[in-house]
């Protein structure tokens, strides 16, 4: 593994800000990756209560939580340690 310097911690927010996010488990049906088949049928965490937004010609209604993208690293999914029902809430 290469050396990595974490970004500074963002400003403190109240717990109510975190509680306002609706984070749930879902199963990936398609994704923009070099090999999208490696992600199909895998579960991941999603924020599902964001305003819809047009991306790559399609409407996005959620945000998959991955680790590393914001730091310029090859992203990895935030996944449950074992299968759970789609729609199960985080937190």
The CATH architecture annotation of domain 21-77 reads: Beta Barrel (2.40)
Categorize the per-residue pLDDT at 17 as very low, low, confident or very high, splitting at 50, 70 and 90.
Answer: very high
| CA–CA distance, 8 with 2 (Å, rounded to integer) | 19
The tens digit of pLDDT for each residue in 39-58 reads 889 999 999 999 999 988 88
Q: Where are the domains of the chain?
A: 21-77
Q: Are 54 and 48 in contact (CB under 8 A)?
A: no
The tens digit of pLDDT for each residue in 64-75 reads 898 988 898 888
pTM confidence score: 0.78
| CA–CA distance, 64 with 47 (Å, rounded to integer) | 7
pLDDT at 32: 59
């Amino acid at each position: 593994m290469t050396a990595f310097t974490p970004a500074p911690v963002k400003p403190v927010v109240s717990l109510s800000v975190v509680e306002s996010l609706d984070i749930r488990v879902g199963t990936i049906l398609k994704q923009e990756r070099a090999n999208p088949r490696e992600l199909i049928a895998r579960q991941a965490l999603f924020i599902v209560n964001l305003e819809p937004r047009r991306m790559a010609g399609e409407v996005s209604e959620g945000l998959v939580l991955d680790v590393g993208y914001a730091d310029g690293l090859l992203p990895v999914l935030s996944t449950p340690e074992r299968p759970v029902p789609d729609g199960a809430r985080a937190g």
